[in-house]
Amino acid sequence: MISHAVRDGRCLQNPTLSHPQANAPASLVGSFLFEIRYRSQTLTVWPDASVLDDEFRQQVSTWQAVDESTEGYGDYLRYKAEKVQQIMTLPDSALFHYA
């Protein structure tokens, strides 16, 4: 997933983005909610809350910026590998919602 890519003002991060139909899971700052615009068309996309759940947020906030030699880091890498496998094997209809 692309969460932040600024290129000549074409893709901007907005952590306060919201949508009335979206039950987007919380991120560390804001929500996992993405608004994609092309010309006059807009699509709002968010991942299913069961994929990016409380455990995901806890793992990321605890381990993402930790030195790789820290005790327990290997468990985090295993968690990440399992999460990637889960995401890659879910059908789109179970992974993403859109409005």
pLDDT digits (tens, 9 = 90+) for 48-72: 989 989 999 999 999 989 999 999 9
Q: What is the average pLDDT value for the chain, to the nearest integer?
A: 83
What CA–CA distance (Å, rounded) separates 74 from 27?
23
What CA–CA distance (Å, rounded) separates 39 from 24?
25
Say which residue the tokens 């074409």 belong to: 10
Provide the token pair at 14: 């907005």
Residues 71-85 pLDDT 10s: 999 999 999 999 999
> Do strands 96-98 and 41-47 pair parallel, antiparallel, or not at all (unpaired)?
antiparallel
Tell me: pLDDT of 98 over 80.
yes
Instruction: Check residue 36 and report its DSSP letter.
Output: E
pTM of the model: 0.69
| pLDDT score at 23 | 78
